[in-house]
Structure 1
Amino acid sequence: MTMGKIIFYEDKNFQGRSYETSNDCAEVTSYLSRCNSCRVESGCFMVYERPNFMGHQMMVRRGEYPDNQRLMGMTMSDCIRSCRNIPSYRGQFRMRMYERENFGGQMHELMDDCDSIQDRYRMSDCQSCNVMEGHWLMYEQPHFRGRQMYVRPGEYRNLREMGNSSMNRFMSVRRITDSCESRTRLMEVYLFTELFPISLRFLYSPGLAYICLPLKWGCSYMSQWPSITLQDWQSDMRQITFYEENNFQGRCYECSTDCADLLSYFSRCNSARVESGAWVLYEKPNYKGYQYILSPGEYTDNQQWMGFNDSVKSCRAIKNVYGNVWKLRLYERPDFGGRMVEWAEDCPSVYEAFKFREVYSCMVTHGAWAFYELPNYRGRQYFLERGEYPRHTDWSAASAAVGSFRRITEF
């Protein structure tokens, strides 16, 4: 079983005291007085408005959630009071849904997603269920809209046992698949040696590939081949879906590569779901205008990526930056002049750390970075990959103001 990790923060934008966990927690406020933001480092979690896994629920995938109210998609208290880790699961899915409480009335067995219980089964109400296999999300409205309820294997005689006494029914159901984590994939490639061509299969997860050799090649020189990093073969692991309306509604477009002009696919963008990879969204075509950097996760409205408007006209996948080293150099003057500082960590306030109010040039030697116009990762964003930037205009900034910066670590 793969365990995830989530970090809760007392204040918005990942400020204040924090609490980190990889397990179910029935009372988060035993550790924090309040919770206004969270960051999911790995895995999937269900977060709850009340202790003991009760109240409004929301599933969160790997990503950053700077404001709980926008996360939940509704006005609610500033507290996440409990959470559940959703374990990785790759088996079969099976559940039975009942029209009435205590497993009464019509019964239908379900093994896949159902976007409308009414349309498929002619059931106008669904009040209890028996989950035999897999982990599921129940939705208050058809087409996976409205409030959510998480159910794992077990018997639920009424909606209260599912953790939400304020809901009176659920009308659509979705499996929680292994898409919460980047999937292990199988790739076949061909290597040509001096002796003969070799067909190898690579079983890989983000960052590493493992060579799977036929048994007859189990000789000593083959056993010395190391695991290898993936930089050129990971393009098919990147996927983002854009939606015209909030909460993943309206026309949508799924993208897995750079796109210089998205206007032909949708007219506006108010929510997005990043299944894998990290992305830079641009306000204008040809990678111009405001920039927004998104790591894997669900963004129910454009304010979650600090959008200035609903315009997303081009996008670029962040690639070829895998590794565990980040390093850059900041310069006080253009063309790498003036005072220089070298840094390898996130920096919430450039002025407090270096007494710089402006950065006129920069050199990125390792990793990928996000610059922010204001402290605490706020304001306009700018993506910088490895390379030299003699002037601030080289990273598309209108001014040299850099209030904070952070490493891009989520892929």
Structure 2
Amino acid sequence: MAKITLYEHANYEGMAANLTSECEFIGNYGFNDIVSSIKVESGNWIVFEDANYEGKSYNLAPGDYSQWQAWGGTNDTISSVRPREAIVLYENVNFEGRSVKLNTACEFLGNFGFNDTVSSIKVNSGNWTVFEDANFTGRSSSLKPGSYPNWQAWGGSNDTMSSVRLCPSITLYEDANFQGKRVELDSECNFLGNLGFNDIVSSIVVHSGNWTVFGDANYAGHSCNLKPGNYSTWEAWGGINDTMSSVKPN
């Protein structure tokens, strides 16, 4: 389930509103044009400056946004919000028939009446793995953002999908506050020097999955476990500046 918390003041202070579904006018919660910080606990969300999902918009991945600059917006200008359907599953080929929209992992599509009925898929954001059996088991296929009009497009079989989840994803930045050079990873790396990134990481965004970062190569040395979120400085993940040499998803 997608979940977002809006706060009246910076640094998660003041009144708060918890949402798990779209809201075309947050004034209904007494929150119109007063949002100054946000926590996205799950799912990917779009926040809009005007009601009815209009005006300037911002895409927010899971993480903490302690002030409006963190999402690139303007203070006290949010009027509507909605979760972004990261993946849409369709009953029939060519995106026809019933559909289910997901922002987070689903261990059994039968909970949505969709077990073994998927024939086409749209991936709007993130990299996803789809599985033929429940609980993320059985034959799997990895899908990048794009449209898959039939099961041949993702290399699977028709009507044999039972669970789906986001692939792990992390972005490492050279400087604090997500500045400077960056490298994006969706799998383990036993030596960041191979990417020109040894001992220079100062900020991190974990887009999906849980990751462990290590002070030494080959997953050795001081380690820290990171959940999805934004880590603007090394203090945020409890590490030491410029001392990271390997990373891997848990």
Q: Is the CA contact (8 Å cut-off) linking 1:70 and 1:304 kept in structure 2?
A: no
Structure 1 residue aligned with 2:187, among 256, 261, 277?
Answer: 256
Stretches of structure 2 that go unaligned for 5 or more consecutive residues are 91-121, 140-162
Compared CA separation, residues 210 and 289, structure 1 to 2 (3 A): closer
Q: Is the CA contact (8 Å cut-off) linking 2:11 and 2:67 kept in structure 1?
A: no
- Report the counterpart of residue 249 of structure 2 in structure 1: 317
Shift of residue 254, structure 1, vs aligned partner = 1.7
- Report the counterpart of residue 30 of structure 2 in structure 1: 31
Structure 1 residue aligned with 2:2, among 1, 4, 8?
Answer: 4
Hey, what's the Cα distance between the residues in 2 that align with 1:305 and 1:83? 27
Structure 1 residue aligned with 2:130, among 185, 200, 217?
Answer: 185
String of CA shifts for 1:228-247, please: whole Å, max 9, x gaps. x9xxxx9x943323243665
Find the residue that maps to 2:244 and give its secondary structure. Answer: coil
Name the Cα RMSD after superposition. 4.3
1:269 equivalent to 2:201? Answer: yes
Q: Is the CA contact (8 Å cut-off) linking 2:169 and 2:184 kept in structure 1?
A: no
Hey, what's the Cα distance between the residues in 2 that align with 1:295 and 1:72? 19
Hey, what's the Cα distance between the residues in 2 that align with 1:296 and 1:9? 20
Tell me the TM-score normalized by structure 1.
0.36
Stretches of structure 1 that go unaligned for 5 or more consecutive residues are 93-175, 187-201, 213-228, 319-411
- Report the counterpart of residue 281 of structure 1 in structure 2: 213
Shift of residue 282, structure 1, vs aligned partner = 4.4
Shift of residue 37, structure 1, vs aligned partner = 2.8
String of CA shifts for 1:103-148, please: whole Å, max 9, x gaps. xxxxxxxxxxxxxxxxxxxxxxxxxxxxxxxxxxxxxxxxxxxxxx
Shift of residue 23, structure 1, vs aligned partner = 1.0
Shift of residue 89, structure 1, vs aligned partner = 4.4
Tell me the TM-score normalized by structure 2.
0.53
Hey, what's the Cα distance between the residues in 2 that align with 1:304 and 1:46? 28
Structure 2 residue aligned with 1:296, among 207, 218, 228?
Answer: 228
Alignment of 1:347-358 (within 5 A): none
String of CA shifts for 1:146-174, please: whole Å, max 9, x gaps. xxxxxxxxxxxxxxxxxxxxxxxxxxxxx
Shift of residue 274, structure 1, vs aligned partner = 3.1
Q: Is the CA contact (8 Å cut-off) linking 1:48 and 1:83 kept in structure 2?
A: yes
Compared CA separation, residues 210 and 38, structure 1 to 2 (3 A): same
Hey, what's the Cα distance between the residues in 1 that align with 2:242 and 2:25? 37
- Report the counterpart of residue 384 of structure 1 in structure 2: none
Shift of residue 59, structure 1, vs aligned partner = 0.5
Compared CA separation, residues 256 and 210, structure 1 to 2 (3 A): closer
Shift of residue 67, structure 1, vs aligned partner = 1.0
1:67 equivalent to 2:66? Answer: yes
Compared CA separation, residues 238 and 30, structure 1 to 2 (3 A): closer
Hey, what's the Cα distance between the residues in 1 that align with 2:223 and 2:136? 35
Aligned pairs, how many?
A: 188
Hey, what's the Cα distance between the residues in 1 that align with 2:10 and 2:212? 22
Bigger relative contact order, structure 1 or 2 (CA pairs below 8 A, ≥6 apart): 2
Compared CA separation, residues 77 and 27, structure 1 to 2 (3 A): same
- Report the counterpart of residue 342 of structure 1 in structure 2: none
Hey, what's the Cα distance between the residues in 2 that align with 1:78 and 1:310? 35
**What amino acid does structure 1 have at the position aligned with 2:58?**
M
Compared CA separation, residues 258 and 250, structure 1 to 2 (3 A): closer
Q: Is the CA contact (8 Å cut-off) linking 2:2 and 2:83 kept in structure 1?
A: yes
Shift of residue 6, structure 1, vs aligned partner = 1.7
Q: Is the CA contact (8 Å cut-off) linking 1:19 and 1:31 kept in structure 2?
A: no
Compared CA separation, residues 57 and 312, structure 1 to 2 (3 A): farther
Larger radius of gyration between Structure 1 and Structure 2: 1
Q: Is the CA contact (8 Å cut-off) linking 1:248 and 1:300 kept in structure 2?
A: no
Q: Is the CA contact (8 Å cut-off) linking 1:49 and 1:77 kept in structure 2?
A: no
**What amino acid does structure 2 have at the position aligned with 1:68?**
Q
Q: Is the CA contact (8 Å cut-off) linking 1:45 and 1:59 kept in structure 2?
A: yes
Hey, what's the Cα distance between the residues in 1 that align with 2:123 and 2:7? 28
